[in-house]
Structure 1
Amino acid sequence: MVTGFRLNLAPVKEPLGFIRVLEWFTTVFAFASCAGYVGRNVVTLRCAGGANETLNATFTYPFRLNQALLVEANATICNHSVSETHLVGDAASSAEFFVAVAVLAFLYCMAALLVYVGYMHVYRDSDFGPMFDFLLTAAFAFLWLVCSSAWARGLQVVKDATGTEGIASTLGVCRQDVACQVSEYANLRNLNISVVFGFLNLLVWAGNAWFVYKETRWHSQKRASQGVGHGPVPAQI
Protein backbone atom coordinates (compact mmCIF):
# COMPACT_ATOMS: atom_id res chain seq x y z
CA MET A 1 0.00 0.00 0.00
CA VAL A 2 1.42 3.39 -1.03
CA THR A 3 1.32 5.84 1.88
CA GLY A 4 2.71 8.98 0.23
CA PHE A 5 0.95 12.33 0.13
CA ARG A 6 -1.57 12.63 -2.72
CA LEU A 7 -3.40 15.93 -3.01
CA ASN A 8 -7.07 15.25 -3.65
CA LEU A 9 -9.72 17.89 -2.94
CA ALA A 10 -12.62 15.60 -3.80
CA PRO A 11 -13.25 14.59 -0.13
CA VAL A 12 -13.88 18.25 0.75
CA LYS A 13 -16.82 18.20 -1.66
CA GLU A 14 -18.28 15.17 0.11
CA PRO A 15 -20.23 15.46 3.40
CA LEU A 16 -17.31 13.92 5.31
CA GLY A 17 -14.89 16.70 4.37
CA PHE A 18 -17.35 19.55 3.85
CA ILE A 19 -18.78 19.26 7.36
CA ARG A 20 -15.24 19.10 8.74
CA VAL A 21 -14.54 22.46 7.07
CA LEU A 22 -17.77 23.79 8.59
CA GLU A 23 -16.61 22.54 12.00
CA TRP A 24 -13.36 24.44 11.52
CA PHE A 25 -15.23 27.72 11.08
CA THR A 26 -17.72 27.20 13.92
CA THR A 27 -14.89 26.20 16.26
CA VAL A 28 -12.92 29.35 15.42
CA PHE A 29 -15.94 31.54 16.13
CA ALA A 30 -16.57 29.73 19.42
CA PHE A 31 -13.19 30.35 21.04
CA ALA A 32 -12.50 33.70 19.33
CA SER A 33 -15.69 35.21 20.77
CA CYS A 34 -14.81 34.11 24.31
CA ALA A 35 -11.03 34.21 24.74
CA GLY A 36 -9.51 37.64 25.19
CA TYR A 37 -12.80 39.31 26.16
CA VAL A 38 -12.62 42.55 28.16
CA GLY A 39 -15.74 44.25 29.50
CA ARG A 40 -16.51 47.17 31.80
CA ASN A 41 -19.65 48.15 33.64
CA VAL A 42 -19.94 51.72 34.94
CA VAL A 43 -21.58 51.90 38.37
CA THR A 44 -23.22 55.16 39.44
CA LEU A 45 -23.46 55.84 43.17
CA ARG A 46 -25.97 58.46 44.34
CA CYS A 47 -24.73 59.81 47.64
CA ALA A 48 -26.98 61.03 50.43
CA GLY A 49 -25.87 64.62 49.88
CA GLY A 50 -27.03 64.58 46.26
CA ALA A 51 -23.63 64.18 44.60
CA ASN A 52 -22.84 61.25 42.30
CA GLU A 53 -19.74 59.12 42.06
CA THR A 54 -18.83 56.39 39.60
CA LEU A 55 -16.94 53.13 39.76
CA ASN A 56 -15.69 50.87 36.99
CA ALA A 57 -16.32 47.14 37.23
CA THR A 58 -13.85 45.67 34.72
CA PHE A 59 -13.88 41.94 34.02
CA THR A 60 -11.83 39.93 31.53
CA TYR A 61 -11.34 36.36 30.36
CA PRO A 62 -11.04 33.92 32.13
CA PHE A 63 -13.51 35.72 34.43
CA ARG A 64 -11.94 35.24 37.83
CA LEU A 65 -14.28 37.87 39.19
CA ASN A 66 -13.07 37.49 42.77
CA GLN A 67 -9.75 38.91 41.56
CA ALA A 68 -11.30 41.84 39.67
CA LEU A 69 -10.81 45.00 41.71
CA LEU A 70 -13.90 47.14 42.20
CA VAL A 71 -12.65 49.54 44.88
CA GLU A 72 -9.02 50.18 45.82
CA ALA A 73 -7.92 49.88 49.43
CA ASN A 74 -8.94 52.63 51.87
CA ALA A 75 -10.95 54.57 49.28
CA THR A 76 -13.50 57.19 50.30
CA ILE A 77 -16.88 56.88 48.63
CA CYS A 78 -19.73 59.22 49.49
CA ASN A 79 -17.93 60.15 52.72
CA HIS A 80 -17.60 56.48 53.65
CA SER A 81 -14.28 54.75 54.07
CA VAL A 82 -14.33 51.59 51.97
CA SER A 83 -11.79 48.78 52.15
CA GLU A 84 -10.49 46.96 49.10
CA THR A 85 -13.41 45.30 47.36
CA HIS A 86 -13.53 42.74 44.55
CA LEU A 87 -16.34 41.39 42.48
CA VAL A 88 -17.89 38.13 43.60
CA GLY A 89 -17.80 34.87 41.67
CA ASP A 90 -15.45 32.77 39.58
CA ALA A 91 -16.35 31.46 36.12
CA ALA A 92 -12.76 30.66 35.13
CA SER A 93 -13.11 26.88 35.15
CA SER A 94 -16.06 26.82 32.75
CA ALA A 95 -14.60 29.52 30.47
CA GLU A 96 -11.18 27.85 30.26
CA PHE A 97 -12.76 24.45 29.71
CA PHE A 98 -14.85 25.86 26.86
CA VAL A 99 -11.85 27.49 25.18
CA ALA A 100 -9.68 24.40 25.68
CA VAL A 101 -12.25 22.16 23.97
CA ALA A 102 -12.57 24.68 21.14
CA VAL A 103 -8.81 24.89 20.58
CA LEU A 104 -8.39 21.10 20.64
CA ALA A 105 -11.33 20.71 18.24
CA PHE A 106 -9.77 23.31 15.95
CA LEU A 107 -6.46 21.44 15.89
CA TYR A 108 -8.20 18.14 15.24
CA CYS A 109 -10.14 19.65 12.32
CA MET A 110 -6.86 20.78 10.79
CA ALA A 111 -5.30 17.34 11.21
CA ALA A 112 -8.38 15.55 9.86
CA LEU A 113 -8.59 17.80 6.82
CA LEU A 114 -4.92 17.18 6.10
CA VAL A 115 -5.60 13.43 6.12
CA TYR A 116 -8.69 13.81 3.95
CA VAL A 117 -7.01 15.83 1.19
CA GLY A 118 -3.62 14.13 1.28
CA TYR A 119 -3.95 10.62 2.66
CA MET A 120 -7.52 9.57 1.85
CA HIS A 121 -6.21 6.49 0.05
CA VAL A 122 -4.57 5.36 3.29
CA TYR A 123 -7.57 6.41 5.40
CA ARG A 124 -10.03 4.26 3.46
CA ASP A 125 -7.69 1.29 3.05
CA SER A 126 -7.32 0.83 6.80
CA ASP A 127 -9.70 0.04 9.64
CA PHE A 128 -7.87 2.15 12.21
CA GLY A 129 -8.23 5.56 10.52
CA PRO A 130 -12.05 5.71 10.18
CA MET A 131 -12.62 4.08 13.59
CA PHE A 132 -10.24 6.50 15.32
CA ASP A 133 -11.86 9.41 13.47
CA PHE A 134 -15.34 8.30 14.51
CA LEU A 135 -14.46 7.84 18.18
CA LEU A 136 -12.80 11.26 18.41
CA THR A 137 -15.63 12.97 16.53
CA ALA A 138 -18.20 11.43 18.89
CA ALA A 139 -16.05 12.36 21.89
CA PHE A 140 -15.85 15.99 20.75
CA ALA A 141 -19.62 16.09 20.26
CA PHE A 142 -20.02 15.02 23.89
CA LEU A 143 -17.39 17.53 25.05
CA TRP A 144 -19.20 20.33 23.21
CA LEU A 145 -22.37 19.45 25.10
CA VAL A 146 -20.60 19.50 28.46
CA CYS A 147 -18.43 22.59 27.96
CA SER A 148 -21.20 24.66 26.31
CA SER A 149 -23.60 23.88 29.16
CA ALA A 150 -20.93 24.72 31.73
CA TRP A 151 -20.00 27.97 29.98
CA ALA A 152 -23.66 29.00 29.64
CA ARG A 153 -23.94 28.65 33.41
CA GLY A 154 -20.62 30.47 33.90
CA LEU A 155 -21.77 33.36 31.72
CA GLN A 156 -24.88 33.71 33.87
CA VAL A 157 -22.60 33.94 36.92
CA VAL A 158 -20.73 36.79 35.19
CA LYS A 159 -23.97 38.62 34.38
CA ASP A 160 -25.29 38.26 37.92
CA ALA A 161 -22.05 39.37 39.57
CA THR A 162 -21.59 42.45 37.37
CA GLY A 163 -25.24 43.56 37.41
CA THR A 164 -26.80 46.10 39.74
CA GLU A 165 -27.94 43.56 42.33
CA GLY A 166 -24.63 41.72 42.34
CA ILE A 167 -22.54 44.86 42.80
CA ALA A 168 -24.95 46.34 45.37
CA SER A 169 -24.67 43.19 47.47
CA THR A 170 -20.88 43.29 47.19
CA LEU A 171 -20.28 46.96 47.97
CA GLY A 172 -20.97 47.80 51.59
CA VAL A 173 -21.97 51.44 51.08
CA CYS A 174 -24.78 50.32 48.76
CA ARG A 175 -26.44 48.69 51.76
CA GLN A 176 -26.38 51.96 53.71
CA ASP A 177 -27.52 55.38 52.47
CA VAL A 178 -26.04 55.16 48.96
CA ALA A 179 -28.07 54.12 45.91
CA CYS A 180 -26.02 52.04 43.48
CA GLN A 181 -26.93 51.25 39.92
CA VAL A 182 -25.08 50.04 36.82
CA SER A 183 -25.55 52.94 34.41
CA GLU A 184 -23.47 51.55 31.52
CA TYR A 185 -23.30 47.86 30.71
CA ALA A 186 -20.49 46.12 28.89
CA ASN A 187 -21.38 44.63 25.53
CA LEU A 188 -21.84 40.91 26.17
CA ARG A 189 -22.80 40.10 22.59
CA ASN A 190 -19.57 38.20 21.90
CA LEU A 191 -20.00 36.07 25.00
CA ASN A 192 -23.60 35.26 24.08
CA ILE A 193 -22.40 34.36 20.58
CA SER A 194 -19.78 32.03 22.03
CA VAL A 195 -22.51 30.06 23.84
CA VAL A 196 -24.59 29.87 20.65
CA PHE A 197 -21.61 28.60 18.67
CA GLY A 198 -20.85 26.11 21.41
CA PHE A 199 -24.23 24.43 21.02
CA LEU A 200 -24.02 24.81 17.24
CA ASN A 201 -20.77 22.87 17.36
CA LEU A 202 -22.57 20.16 19.31
CA LEU A 203 -25.07 19.76 16.46
CA VAL A 204 -22.44 19.89 13.72
CA TRP A 205 -20.06 17.42 15.36
CA ALA A 206 -22.87 15.02 16.28
CA GLY A 207 -24.14 15.13 12.69
CA ASN A 208 -20.67 14.58 11.29
CA ALA A 209 -20.22 11.54 13.52
CA TRP A 210 -22.76 9.73 11.33
CA PHE A 211 -20.83 10.39 8.13
CA VAL A 212 -17.58 9.29 9.77
CA TYR A 213 -19.33 6.18 11.09
CA LYS A 214 -20.28 5.24 7.50
CA GLU A 215 -16.53 5.02 6.72
CA THR A 216 -15.90 2.44 9.44
CA ARG A 217 -16.01 -1.33 9.10
CA TRP A 218 -18.79 -1.38 11.72
CA HIS A 219 -21.13 0.20 9.18
CA SER A 220 -19.94 -2.00 6.30
CA GLN A 221 -20.33 -5.15 8.40
CA LYS A 222 -23.84 -4.08 9.40
CA ARG A 223 -24.80 -3.54 5.77
CA ALA A 224 -23.27 -6.86 4.80
CA SER A 225 -25.21 -8.71 7.52
CA GLN A 226 -28.43 -7.02 6.45
CA GLY A 227 -27.74 -8.00 2.86
CA VAL A 228 -27.28 -11.63 3.85
CA GLY A 229 -30.42 -11.59 5.94
CA HIS A 230 -32.51 -10.22 3.06
CA GLY A 231 -31.02 -12.37 0.32
CA PRO A 232 -33.20 -14.39 -2.11
CA VAL A 233 -34.79 -17.55 -0.78
CA PRO A 234 -33.37 -20.63 -2.58
CA ALA A 235 -35.86 -22.54 -4.66
CA GLN A 236 -36.97 -25.90 -3.33
CA ILE A 237 -36.07 -28.98 -5.33
Structure 2
Amino acid sequence: MAALQLDFGPLKEPIGFIKLLEWIFAVFGFATCGGFTGHTALKVKCKNGSGPVEYKANFQYPFRLNTVILLPQKTCNSTVATHLVGDFSSSAEFFVAIAVLAFLYCMAALLIYIGYLHVYREGKRGPIIDFIVTVIFAFLWLVSSSAWGKGLTDLKYSTNPDVLKDQLELCKSEAECTPSAVSGMGSLNVSVVFGFLNLILWCGNAWFVYKETNWHAEPAQHQDPGNVAPPAPSS
Protein backbone atom coordinates (compact mmCIF):
# COMPACT_ATOMS: atom_id res chain seq x y z
CA MET A 1 0.00 0.00 0.00
CA ALA A 2 1.36 3.42 -0.97
CA ALA A 3 2.52 5.58 1.91
CA LEU A 4 0.63 8.70 2.84
CA GLN A 5 2.46 11.89 1.83
CA LEU A 6 0.52 14.80 3.27
CA ASP A 7 0.89 17.87 1.07
CA PHE A 8 -1.54 20.81 0.84
CA GLY A 9 0.23 22.18 -2.21
CA PRO A 10 -2.36 20.74 -4.65
CA LEU A 11 -4.97 23.07 -3.12
CA LYS A 12 -3.02 25.93 -4.69
CA GLU A 13 -3.16 24.26 -8.09
CA PRO A 14 -6.28 24.53 -10.30
CA ILE A 15 -7.09 20.83 -9.98
CA GLY A 16 -7.28 21.05 -6.19
CA PHE A 17 -8.54 24.61 -5.77
CA ILE A 18 -11.51 24.10 -8.12
CA LYS A 19 -12.35 20.82 -6.40
CA LEU A 20 -12.44 22.67 -3.08
CA LEU A 21 -14.83 25.24 -4.58
CA GLU A 22 -17.01 22.42 -5.91
CA TRP A 23 -17.12 20.90 -2.44
CA ILE A 24 -18.25 24.21 -0.91
CA PHE A 25 -20.78 25.01 -3.64
CA ALA A 26 -22.28 21.52 -3.36
CA VAL A 27 -22.94 22.18 0.34
CA PHE A 28 -24.74 25.42 -0.48
CA GLY A 29 -26.68 23.64 -3.23
CA PHE A 30 -28.30 20.96 -1.08
CA ALA A 31 -28.55 23.15 2.03
CA THR A 32 -30.51 25.95 0.33
CA CYS A 33 -32.92 23.48 -1.27
CA GLY A 34 -33.20 20.67 1.28
CA GLY A 35 -33.55 22.98 4.28
CA PHE A 36 -36.40 25.12 2.93
CA THR A 37 -39.72 25.55 4.74
CA GLY A 38 -42.41 27.94 3.55
CA HIS A 39 -46.12 28.67 3.63
CA THR A 40 -48.97 30.08 1.62
CA ALA A 41 -52.27 31.42 2.96
CA LEU A 42 -55.79 32.49 2.01
CA LYS A 43 -58.41 34.51 3.88
CA VAL A 44 -61.82 32.92 3.50
CA LYS A 45 -65.15 34.59 4.24
CA CYS A 46 -68.08 32.23 3.91
CA LYS A 47 -71.21 33.48 2.17
CA ASN A 48 -73.27 32.34 5.15
CA GLY A 49 -71.69 35.18 7.10
CA SER A 50 -68.87 33.51 9.04
CA GLY A 51 -65.30 34.70 8.73
CA PRO A 52 -63.05 35.94 7.43
CA VAL A 53 -60.59 33.27 8.59
CA GLU A 54 -57.00 32.94 7.43
CA TYR A 55 -55.95 29.42 6.49
CA LYS A 56 -52.22 28.74 6.19
CA ALA A 57 -50.57 25.76 4.51
CA ASN A 58 -46.98 24.95 5.38
CA PHE A 59 -44.85 23.17 2.79
CA GLN A 60 -41.24 22.07 2.75
CA TYR A 61 -38.71 19.91 0.94
CA PRO A 62 -39.34 17.62 -0.96
CA PHE A 63 -42.42 19.71 -1.94
CA ARG A 64 -45.17 17.12 -2.20
CA LEU A 65 -47.87 19.77 -2.21
CA ASN A 66 -50.67 17.30 -2.86
CA THR A 67 -50.23 16.03 0.70
CA VAL A 68 -50.56 19.51 2.25
CA ILE A 69 -53.99 20.63 3.45
CA LEU A 70 -54.90 24.24 2.71
CA LEU A 71 -58.56 24.33 3.75
CA PRO A 72 -59.70 21.83 6.39
CA GLN A 73 -62.87 19.76 6.19
CA LYS A 74 -66.16 21.60 6.80
CA THR A 75 -64.81 24.96 5.69
CA CYS A 76 -67.97 26.87 4.70
CA ASN A 77 -69.95 23.60 4.82
CA SER A 78 -67.48 21.83 2.56
CA THR A 79 -67.41 18.08 3.22
CA VAL A 80 -63.81 17.44 2.16
CA ALA A 81 -60.45 19.02 2.91
CA THR A 82 -58.76 21.00 0.14
CA HIS A 83 -55.14 20.20 -0.64
CA LEU A 84 -52.54 22.13 -2.55
CA VAL A 85 -51.88 20.88 -6.07
CA GLY A 86 -48.64 19.43 -7.40
CA ASP A 87 -45.78 17.10 -6.55
CA PHE A 88 -42.31 18.51 -7.22
CA SER A 89 -40.38 15.97 -5.19
CA SER A 90 -38.75 14.25 -8.18
CA SER A 91 -36.85 17.30 -9.43
CA ALA A 92 -36.04 18.55 -5.91
CA GLU A 93 -34.78 15.18 -4.67
CA PHE A 94 -32.79 14.62 -7.87
CA PHE A 95 -31.08 18.00 -7.42
CA VAL A 96 -30.27 17.37 -3.76
CA ALA A 97 -29.04 13.84 -4.50
CA ILE A 98 -26.59 15.12 -7.13
CA ALA A 99 -25.37 17.82 -4.72
CA VAL A 100 -24.79 15.27 -1.94
CA LEU A 101 -22.99 12.83 -4.26
CA ALA A 102 -20.83 15.66 -5.62
CA PHE A 103 -20.02 16.69 -2.05
CA LEU A 104 -18.90 13.16 -1.18
CA TYR A 105 -16.88 12.73 -4.36
CA CYS A 106 -15.12 16.07 -3.89
CA MET A 107 -14.22 15.08 -0.34
CA ALA A 108 -12.73 11.78 -1.52
CA ALA A 109 -10.87 13.46 -4.39
CA LEU A 110 -9.42 16.12 -2.08
CA LEU A 111 -8.16 13.43 0.28
CA ILE A 112 -6.39 11.74 -2.63
CA TYR A 113 -4.92 15.01 -3.90
CA ILE A 114 -3.62 15.96 -0.46
CA GLY A 115 -2.38 12.55 0.68
CA TYR A 116 -1.76 10.41 -2.39
CA LEU A 117 -1.09 12.78 -5.27
CA HIS A 118 2.14 10.92 -6.08
CA VAL A 119 0.18 7.71 -6.59
CA TYR A 120 -2.53 9.56 -8.53
CA ARG A 121 -0.04 11.03 -11.00
CA GLU A 122 2.20 7.98 -11.32
CA GLY A 123 -0.68 5.73 -12.29
CA LYS A 124 -2.68 5.89 -15.50
CA ARG A 125 -6.15 4.87 -14.37
CA GLY A 126 -6.57 7.42 -11.56
CA PRO A 127 -6.66 10.58 -13.69
CA ILE A 128 -8.74 8.87 -16.37
CA ILE A 129 -11.37 7.75 -13.84
CA ASP A 130 -11.31 11.21 -12.28
CA PHE A 131 -11.86 12.81 -15.69
CA ILE A 132 -14.76 10.51 -16.61
CA VAL A 133 -16.49 11.07 -13.26
CA THR A 134 -15.97 14.84 -13.56
CA VAL A 135 -17.61 14.90 -17.01
CA ILE A 136 -20.52 12.80 -15.75
CA PHE A 137 -21.08 15.17 -12.82
CA ALA A 138 -20.97 18.19 -15.14
CA PHE A 139 -23.74 16.61 -17.22
CA LEU A 140 -25.76 15.68 -14.12
CA TRP A 141 -25.49 19.24 -12.79
CA LEU A 142 -26.88 20.51 -16.09
CA VAL A 143 -29.82 18.10 -16.03
CA SER A 144 -30.64 18.42 -12.33
CA SER A 145 -30.34 22.23 -12.25
CA SER A 146 -32.54 22.60 -15.32
CA ALA A 147 -35.14 20.20 -13.92
CA TRP A 148 -35.15 21.89 -10.51
CA GLY A 149 -35.36 25.35 -12.12
CA LYS A 150 -38.50 24.24 -13.97
CA GLY A 151 -39.85 22.59 -10.82
CA LEU A 152 -39.27 25.77 -8.80
CA THR A 153 -41.18 27.82 -11.37
CA ASP A 154 -44.13 25.44 -11.09
CA LEU A 155 -43.85 25.42 -7.29
CA LYS A 156 -44.12 29.21 -7.16
CA TYR A 157 -47.18 29.09 -9.41
CA SER A 158 -48.89 26.37 -7.39
CA THR A 159 -48.40 28.21 -4.08
CA ASN A 160 -49.35 31.67 -5.36
CA PRO A 161 -52.42 32.79 -3.32
CA ASP A 162 -53.84 34.64 -6.35
CA VAL A 163 -53.72 31.42 -8.35
CA LEU A 164 -55.22 29.39 -5.50
CA LYS A 165 -58.09 31.86 -5.17
CA ASP A 166 -58.97 31.46 -8.84
CA GLN A 167 -58.61 27.66 -8.87
CA LEU A 168 -60.51 26.59 -5.74
CA GLU A 169 -64.13 25.63 -6.33
CA LEU A 170 -65.04 26.71 -2.81
CA CYS A 171 -63.89 30.25 -3.61
CA LYS A 172 -66.14 30.30 -6.66
CA SER A 173 -69.32 29.10 -5.02
CA GLU A 174 -69.45 29.15 -1.23
CA ALA A 175 -66.93 31.74 -0.09
CA GLU A 176 -65.13 34.95 -0.87
CA CYS A 177 -61.38 34.30 -0.85
CA THR A 178 -58.69 36.90 -0.49
CA PRO A 179 -55.00 36.23 -1.16
CA SER A 180 -52.86 36.41 1.95
CA ALA A 181 -49.13 36.09 2.57
CA VAL A 182 -46.80 33.67 0.85
CA SER A 183 -43.25 33.08 2.07
CA GLY A 184 -40.35 34.26 -0.01
CA MET A 185 -38.38 31.67 -1.95
CA GLY A 186 -35.08 33.47 -2.19
CA SER A 187 -33.10 30.51 -0.86
CA LEU A 188 -34.63 28.26 -3.51
CA ASN A 189 -33.63 30.75 -6.19
CA VAL A 190 -30.12 30.66 -4.75
CA SER A 191 -30.11 26.85 -4.94
CA VAL A 192 -30.74 27.02 -8.70
CA VAL A 193 -27.96 29.60 -9.07
CA PHE A 194 -25.55 27.34 -7.18
CA GLY A 195 -26.61 24.45 -9.39
CA PHE A 196 -25.52 26.26 -12.55
CA LEU A 197 -22.40 27.59 -10.85
CA ASN A 198 -21.50 23.99 -10.07
CA LEU A 199 -22.05 23.16 -13.73
CA ILE A 200 -19.53 25.84 -14.72
CA LEU A 201 -17.03 24.67 -12.11
CA TRP A 202 -17.23 21.02 -13.10
CA CYS A 203 -16.88 21.85 -16.80
CA GLY A 204 -13.81 23.94 -16.05
CA ASN A 205 -12.38 21.31 -13.75
CA ALA A 206 -12.78 18.68 -16.48
CA TRP A 207 -10.10 20.44 -18.52
CA PHE A 208 -7.57 20.49 -15.70
CA VAL A 209 -8.25 16.84 -14.86
CA TYR A 210 -7.91 15.96 -18.54
CA LYS A 211 -4.43 17.50 -18.53
CA GLU A 212 -3.47 14.98 -15.83
CA THR A 213 -4.33 12.02 -18.07
CA ASN A 214 -1.98 10.37 -20.53
CA TRP A 215 -4.50 11.31 -23.26
CA HIS A 216 -3.22 14.88 -23.03
CA ALA A 217 0.46 14.02 -22.76
CA GLU A 218 2.33 14.68 -25.98
CA PRO A 219 4.23 11.69 -27.40
CA ALA A 220 7.95 11.84 -26.93
CA GLN A 221 9.88 12.99 -29.95
CA HIS A 222 12.34 10.30 -31.00
CA GLN A 223 15.10 11.09 -33.46
CA ASP A 224 15.69 8.73 -36.34
CA PRO A 225 19.35 7.67 -36.19
CA GLY A 226 19.42 7.45 -39.96
CA ASN A 227 18.59 11.12 -40.30
CA VAL A 228 21.06 12.41 -37.74
CA ALA A 229 23.69 14.57 -39.39
CA PRO A 230 27.25 13.37 -38.83
CA PRO A 231 29.39 15.46 -36.54
CA ALA A 232 31.42 18.17 -38.21
CA PRO A 233 35.10 17.27 -38.64
CA SER A 234 37.37 18.88 -36.14
CA SER A 235 39.84 21.38 -37.51
Return the TM-score normalized by structure 1: 0.88
Residues 141-166 of structure 1: per-residue CA shift (max 9 Å, x gap): 00000000111111112111111344
Give the drift of 1:38.
1.0
Q: SS of the counterpart of 1:57? A: strand
Shift of 1:71: 2.1
Mapping of residues 1-237 of structure 1, within 5 Å: 3-48=2-47, 49=49, 51-73=51-73, 75-77=74-76, 80-176=77-173, 178-220=175-217, 223-224=218-219
Deviations 1:40-73 (A, max 9, x none): 1121224445942211121111001111111223
Question: Partner residue of 2:233?
Answer: none
Alpha-carbon distance, 1:95 to partner:
0.4
Q: Percent identity?
A: 50
State the one-letter code of the partner of 1:71. Answer: L
State the aligned residue count.
225
For residues 213 and 180 of structure 1, what CA distance do their matches in structure 2 show? 59
Query: Runs of 5+ in structure 1 lacking a partner?
Result: 229-233
Structure 1 residues 95, 14: closer, same or farther in 2, change over 3 A? same
Counterpart of 2:183 in 1: which secondary structure? Answer: coil
Evaluate the alpha carbon distance shift between residue 236 and residue 117 of structure 1 in structure 2; reply closer, same or farther with a 3 A threshold.
Answer: closer
Change (3 A) 1:128 1:218: same
Instruction: Quote the Cα distance in structure 2 between the aligned partners of 1:8 and 1:235.
Output: 44
> Is the CA contact (8 Å cut-off) linking 1:57 and 1:70 kept in structure 2?
yes
- How much does 1:81 deviate? 2.3
State the superposition RMSD in angstroms. 2.2
* CA distance in structure 2 between the aligned counterparts of 1:24 and 1:127, rounded to whole angstroms: 25
> Which one is further off, 51-60 or 88-97?
51-60
TM-score (norm 2): 0.89
Radius of gyration: which is bigger? 2
